[in-house]
Amino acid sequence: MLRTPTLRRPRAAVAAGTLLTATATAVAVGLSGCGLAVPAQISTIGDVAFDRPLAIPPIAESHVDADGTRVFSLDAQAGTTEFEPGVPSETWGFDGSYLGPTLVAERGEHVRVDVTNSLDEPTTVHWHGMHLPAAMDGGPHQMVDPGATWSPEWTIDQRAATLWYHPHPHGATESHVRRGLAGLFLLHDADERALGLPSEYGVDDVPLIVQDTGFSADGRREGPQRGYAGGLGDELLVNGTRGPYLEVSDGLVRLRLLNASTARTYGFTWSDGRPVELIATDGGLLEASVALDRVVLSPGERAEVLLRPTPGERVVLRSELTAEAVGSNRVIAATNGDADSFDVLEVRAADVLDPAPSLPAQLASNPPFDPAEVATTRRFVLDDSFEINGHAMDLGRVDETVTVDTLERWVVENDTDLPHSFHVHDVQFRIATIDGAAPPPELAGWKDTVRLRPHAEYELLLRFEDYADPAHPYMYHCHLLWHEDQGMMGQFAVVEPGQRATMTEGTPHHGH
């Protein structure tokens, strides 16, 4: 059972003033008519006591079989977690009551994960960001019944990255993730290890699983209000800890950020205004670090940032978003959590710090795809009725059929004023353009999830190198989990040249 010290409950401050414009009124009426709330603007800046040490998820135990396979095990189970001492909340977790252990593997290893479901309802485990066969992907076709064990196995064949795992049952993903079923899956390779980046897990290489939630006055976890984006809580947990602080004794600290919230987008920044030093995104290291005023992460996105503390200082990691930062208008941002501010984590530096290692200017080589190699262009339009290309998810329909070992261009458009995102299973993609322009440096690396600005068009390049399987599809979907549950998802199969998917195929949305 996760136990943490006492925390003074933050007071969610309603922003001064009210939204009195005609547009705001129309939005509020529209949401109310759909049975959705119009959340008040929130700020916990200055209200978090930071009197609990940050919990660090344990590294998952594993063993190597006689055939060289590294074997992990995960047990999805229900339990209770005391976010406040003596106040139990009903939660779910892997190998415990809340969240799960961190799996760690090397590129080239063959791995197996024995997933047991000790819950009283079916669930799945999806390996978000992982390149692996469709039958091992853990999507809604790989349900694990209560009392059953599922044992996917595959070879790690991608660069070092911060990935994660979470349930993916169709229609219930938001609920399962919100209850606590999530964990990290860290991949390493020789190139990353040779850089000298901070690598002592939980000491100078620190996971930060960020989630929003609600609590009653006595500290019992509650379900958040639901707006159009989904459930939005008024308080944050980091690694399941309320009001956490992190003590560091190194002059260089690597923070692995995961937005494990179901709907909320964050804009991570430092309280003293220092730049955020971004070194990696979803699929691995950038070519060079990028200094930003904030790192914007929508649900499912990851980022690795470096902090260079000075002896004895305290600095707060915050999330501060504005309508401009997410390309939204003021009213839509305010009603979907995109104008909220949170104190996330206080970092406390020791009076004497170990010297920071010097890092090379170039962290990785990420040559772009050659657009001349594009074999097929497909178009995906996300609308305001939880559909993609005018269709809701159908587990019996394959929407797109991809020929193995080809480069494709996927043009993805958010055709609304409202928040959406786009996640593709199996591969990491590169963003070629956003509304015809080159992406900013923070979006120039490997990605598997991207927040879509309203009325913007994203050109993604993806290569489906292997794992042809006409019988088992992968997913693409909005990663606002309530949207996904409502049907904002489609399926694609990867096949050999001349093959067709063996499931029913839908209408293709592509050209050459």
DSSP letters for 17-76:
S---SHHHHHHHHHHHHTT---PPP-B-TTT----EEPP-PPBPP-EE-TTS-EEEEEEE
DSSP letters for 170-237:
TTTHHHHHHTT--EEEEEE-HHHHHTT---SBTTTEEEEEEEEEEE-TTS-EEPPEE-SSSEE-SEEE
Same domain, 271 and 337: yes
Residue 7 within a domain: no
Residue 285 within a domain: yes
Same domain, 207 and 345: yes
Residue 3 within a domain: no
Q: Of 319, 354, 389, which residue constitutes the final position of a domain?
A: 354
Same domain, 205 and 179: no
- Give pTM, 2 decimals: 0.92
Q: Of 135, 168, 194, which residue constitutes the final position of a domain?
A: 194
Residue 17 within a domain: no
Three-class DSSP category at 483 = helix
* Separation of alpha carbons 228 and 230, rounded Å: 5
Residue 300 within a domain: yes
Using DSSP bridges, classify how beta strands 244-250 and 225-226 pair: parallel, antiparallel or unpaired.
unpaired
Same domain, 417 and 505: yes
Same domain, 185 and 207: no
Q: Per residue of the chain (512 residues), give pLDDT as tens.
A: 333 333 333 333 333 233 323 343 344 445 544 556 566 789 999 999 999 999 999 999 999 999 999 999 999 999 999 999 999 999 999 999 999 999 999 999 999 999 999 999 999 999 999 999 999 999 999 999 999 999 999 999 999 999 999 999 999 999 999 999 999 999 999 999 999 999 999 999 999 999 999 999 999 999 888 889 999 999 999 999 999 999 999 999 999 999 999 999 999 999 999 999 999 999 999 999 999 999 999 999 999 999 999 999 999 999 999 999 999 999 999 999 999 999 999 999 999 999 999 999 999 999 999 999 999 999 999 998 999 999 999 999 999 999 999 999 999 999 999 999 999 999 999 999 999 999 999 999 999 999 999 999 999 999 999 999 999 999 999 999 999 999 999 999 999 999 999 987 765 555 43
* Separation of alpha carbons 379 and 400, rounded Å: 10
Residue 416 within a domain: yes
| Domain coverage including residue 169 | 63-194
Same domain, 176 and 206: no
CATH of the domain at 461: 2.60.40.420
Same domain, 319 and 406: no
Residue 502 within a domain: yes
Same domain, 209 and 302: yes
Same domain, 395 and 489: yes
Same domain, 343 and 218: yes
Same domain, 74 and 34: no
Same domain, 67 and 46: no
491 Cβ contact list (under 8 Å, min separation 6):
393, 395, 397, 398, 399, 400, 473, 474, 475, 476, 503
Q: Answer yes or no: are the C-beta atoms of 394 and 169 closer than 8 Å.
A: no
Q: Of 354, 387, 409, which residue constitutes the final position of a domain?
A: 354
Number of structural domains the chain divides into: 3
Residue 14 within a domain: no
